[in-house]
Structure 1
Amino acid sequence: MNTPLIRPELVTSPEGPFLAAAELTQRESRATASHSHARGQLMGALSGLVSVGVNRQHWVVPAIHAIWIPPHCEHSVRSHGPFSGWSVFIAEQRCAELPGEPRAIRTTSLLRAAVRRAASWDGTQLDTQRSRIAEVILDELAASQAESLGLPAPEDARLLRITDALVRDLSDSRRLEQWAEWAGLSPRTLSRKFSAETGLSFAQWRAQARLLRALELVADGVSVTTIALELGYDNVSAFIDMFRRATGTTPGRYGTAEPGLTGDGRDE
Structure 2
Amino acid sequence: MKRTTLITGTSSGLGREAVKMFASKGWNVIATMRAPEKESELNELQNVIVTRLDVLDHDSIATAIQRGIDRFGQIDTLVNSAGYGQYGLFEAVSREQIISQYETNVFGLMDVIRAILPHFRANNGGTIINISSCGGLIGLPTMSVYSSSKFALEGFSEALSYELASQNIYVKLVEPGGFQSNFHHVSAQMKATPGESEPYNTFLIHTGALFASLVGSRSTTSEDVAKVVYEAATDGKNQLRYIIAGNVESLVKARQELSDQDFIDFMRSKLNQ
TM range (shorter): under 0.3
TM-score between both structures, scaled by the size of structure 1: 0.25
Larger radius of gyration: 1
TM-score between both structures, scaled by the size of structure 2: 0.25
Decide which structure has greater strand share: 1
Decide which structure has greater helix share: 2
